[in-house]
Structure 1
Amino acid sequence: MIGLLVTGHANFGSGMTSSVNLIAGEQEAYQYVDFLPTYSTEDLAGGLTKAMDELKDCEGIIIFTDLMGGTPFNTAAQLGRDKENVRILAGTNLPMLVEVVMSRKFMDDLDGLVDSLLQTGKEQVAKFEIKKAEQTETEDEDGI
């Protein structure tokens, strides 16, 4: 199974995990690491290292982060850069996580799964618009 690790600023990791668990149930081979305002970069790196160690027996690890270029992303990229079976994603949204927990049991192609998740993430960002019904003027036969 492919291991999952979710991290980001403040309670991003635990918050997204809470939503995933509500929708899809408790997950195995799944870790999260929050980056609270009181944490240093070293604290974050230690938490990510520990979480990655918990997932070391997985066929691969996908690390989901909130912002490209943010400390959680940069730290994950630094820790995972020399590991052949680790992929790091930025801009994580809930549809991506729901898809991965539903499909990772059936898919062992790490890069194929990542590509699918990126597509889902993009497709699920949308703007809601209320379309106004077209109004047609009717002529009153009696006229005014």
Structure 2
Amino acid sequence: MKTMILVSHGSFCEGLKESVEMILGPQEQLKTVSLLPDEEGSDFAAKFDAVVSGTDGDYVVFADLLGGTPANVLTNKIMSGEPIEAYAGMSMPMIIAYLNSEMLGEAFDLEKAKENSVDLAAYIKEKLG
């Protein structure tokens, strides 16, 4: 199974990992890299590189926010030729969907993972009429 690296502003990625493990149990392949308030992009990049160096090179990255420093660091690496599989806008449904696809040996369906983002009031109204 691929190493999954969750990256975020602050401790969001650590909390998301903890929540995913609350549902699915321990996930040894799930790693986190947090951008702390006193850090710059170069600090974050160094921490990210340290986590990546501990993998076999087969990893996927989920970032919290498109356009934020963690995603921008990934974007710069991709633009410089690094073959990184990365997604922005991570959520618990997205991480669980990816883990499930890995366990089942299926391709990750990002669009299906997005289906868990709904307007609850509209959903209830549609279902209950």
Same fold per superposition (TM over 0.5): yes
For 1:139, the equivalent position in structure 2 comes to none
The match for 2:86 among 84, 88, 91 is 88
User: Which 4+ stretches in 1 moved above 4 angstroms?
Assistant: none
* Backbone CA RMSD of aligned residues: 2.1
Matches within 5 A, 1:12-91: 12-55=12-55, 57-58=56-57, 60-81=58-79, 82-84=81-83, 86-91=84-89
Q: Secondary structure at the match of 2:104?
A: coil
Output the CA distance in 2 between the equivalents of 1:53 and 1:77: 18
Conserved 8 A contact 2:2-2:29: yes
Larger helix proportion of the pair: 2
For 2:119, the equivalent position in structure 1 comes to 127
The residue type paired with residue 76 of structure 1 is: L
The residue type paired with residue 121 of structure 1 is: A
Conserved 8 A contact 1:93-1:121: no
Question: Identity percentage over the alignment?
Answer: 27
Q: Which runs of 5+ in 2 are unaligned?
A: none
The residue type paired with residue 17 of structure 2 is: T
Conserved 8 A contact 1:24-1:101: no
Output the CA distance in 2 between the equivalents of 1:123 and 1:68: 19
Output the CA distance in 2 between the equivalents of 1:7 and 1:42: 14
Output the CA distance in 2 between the equivalents of 1:70 and 1:15: 18
Q: Which one has a bigger Cα radius of gyration?
A: 1
Q: Which runs of 5+ in 1 are unaligned?
A: 135-144
Conserved 8 A contact 2:97-2:113: no
